[in-house]
Amino acid sequence: MKRLITTMLLTGSVTVNVFAGGLLTNTNQHIRFLRNPARDASLQIDAVYSNPAGLSFLADGWQASFNWQAAFQDRNISTTFAPFAGFGGNATKEFEGKAKSLFIPSAFVVYKHDKWAFSGSIAITGGGGKAKYDNGLGSFESQAAIMPATLTTAMQAVNPAFPAITQYSIESNFTGSQVTVGGQLGASYRICDNLSTFAGLRLSYVSNTYEGYLGNLQANIMGTMQSVRTFLESVNPTFAALAADRSLDVEQTGTGIAPLLGVDYKCGKFNIGLKYEFKTDITLENKSAVNTSGITAYDDGAKTPGDIPALLTGGVSYAVCDKVTVSAGYHQFFDKDADMAGDKQKALSHGTSEILAGVEWNVTQKLQLSAGAQRSDYGIRDNYLSDVSFNMDSWSVGFGFGYDINSHFTVNAGCLLTNYEDYTKTTTVSTLAYTDIYSRTSKAFGIGIDYKF
């Protein structure tokens, strides 16, 4: 049981990310991204995040934006392990997790005067969701599944006539959440008619919570389903601790600050934007209400690394005509240079890379339609994946509209659908093959208002 809860906790120390972007970063912070993810050369108010150097090309005056998003994910794992047949009669089990966040707000503000633009934003820059597994996971159950054979061998070594144990049952559940709130301030300056620069800072606050239970382990000992712990107490109280119930209720928090730099070049129908976000060094500290796992890393006051990786983005937009603009972008996350819990960054083959493309059509003077796509390659390898939290290479498609109510108000609405490629991982547990097939889908919807004063 201790080994089982260890698996649960160590694999649980990863973000629950319901948005598009890297392993630890959200890039969809404005509804315009849902409409068309290729926003890295934007000259709209969403450029506060996606292309801040471009803000000095806006019209003079104040602009603000308020956005609301909701995101939903299905995280399903099909696990095959022969001993699972002892609990339900089937060696393959389906473990379903749901992650959702119904209220994900963001706000942007810009003041532009002459060659200067001053901007700020507050948004959910990482995570934002809660994943819940009502019936645990294969990694929870696998150690319990081998208990019948292990206990049978131990008892028959003392008494060869001891009847074989072939069935077991266990109760387990796990809920994990992660939210990173980012507050950003910066200034853009137009050096000449075509070139602008940006410098700023982002303060990030991280809050992770993990709650889990593993217990009530039972088996058909001598023909009757009974508590394994109670049976072991009757045999040897020392061994009974191995079957004790385990619980966890811990919150991890930490803060960090990182510089941001940007440059934008505008020439005729072309615009090119570049941005670099430095790594945010963050140390997470535990506040543990309950930790009967025996794992000191989750003790109250214990600290673990939780850096936010550096990010380089680049994009280009081109006005094909008065009504149609096409855009493309590239993102490179430096995940392997960020310190993660358990040094998980070392298991990646490379940092996340993304390619984006999109188009916007001004149907009328008031109505704009847009759509785009994003390809994400996470550099995932077997040692990085766990069934509590997993990312796989994915395709995202976004679409939506903007409507100018008047010269001041614009309403944006959009949807972003992400499909992750299935990933199969095979390992061994007690010399037996253990296979997980990971699958995942994600949906995000949102509406927002841009306002020009």
* Predicted confidence (pLDDT) per residue in 108-149, tens digit: 999 999 999 999 999 999 877 778 888 778 887 887 899 899
What confidence tens digit (pLDDT) does each residue in 140-155 have? 788 789 989 989 999 9
Considering its fold, how many domains does the chain have in total? Answer: 1
Residue count (the chain): 453
Tens of pLDDT, residues 329-341: 999 999 999 998 8
The range of the structural domain enclosing residue 58 comes to: 2-452
Residues in a beta bridge with 396: 374, 418
pTM of the model: 0.90
E-strand ranges in 292-366 read 303-305, 311-319, 324-333, 353-362
In whole angstroms, give the CA distance from residue 21 to residue 23.
Answer: 7
DSSP state of 17: B
Bridge-based pairing state of the strands 246-267 and 283-291: antiparallel
pLDDT digits (tens, 9 = 90+) for 50-71: 999 999 999 999 999 999 999 9
15 has a pLDDT exceeding 50: no
pLDDT tens by residue, 98-109: 888 888 999 999
Task: Write down the pLDDT at residue 11.
Answer: 41
Could you tell me the CATH number of the domain that includes residue 147?
2.40.160.60
Please check the confidence at residue 401 and state whether its pLDDT lies above 70. yes
* Mean confidence (pLDDT) of the chain: 91
Rounded to whole angstroms, how far apart are CA atoms 13 and 342?
Answer: 9
- Rg of the chain taking only CA atoms, in angstroms: 26
Distance CA(447)–CA(376), nearest Å, equals 24
Query: In whole angstroms, what is the distance from residue 88 CA to residue 17 CA?
Result: 32
Phi, psi angles (nearest 5°) of residue 407: -70, -10
Residue 424 has pLDDT above 90, yes or no: yes
What's the mean pLDDT in 365-388? 92
For 257, the token pair is 């600050």
pLDDT reading at 97 higher than 80:
yes
CA dist., res. 235 & res. 404, Å (int)? 76
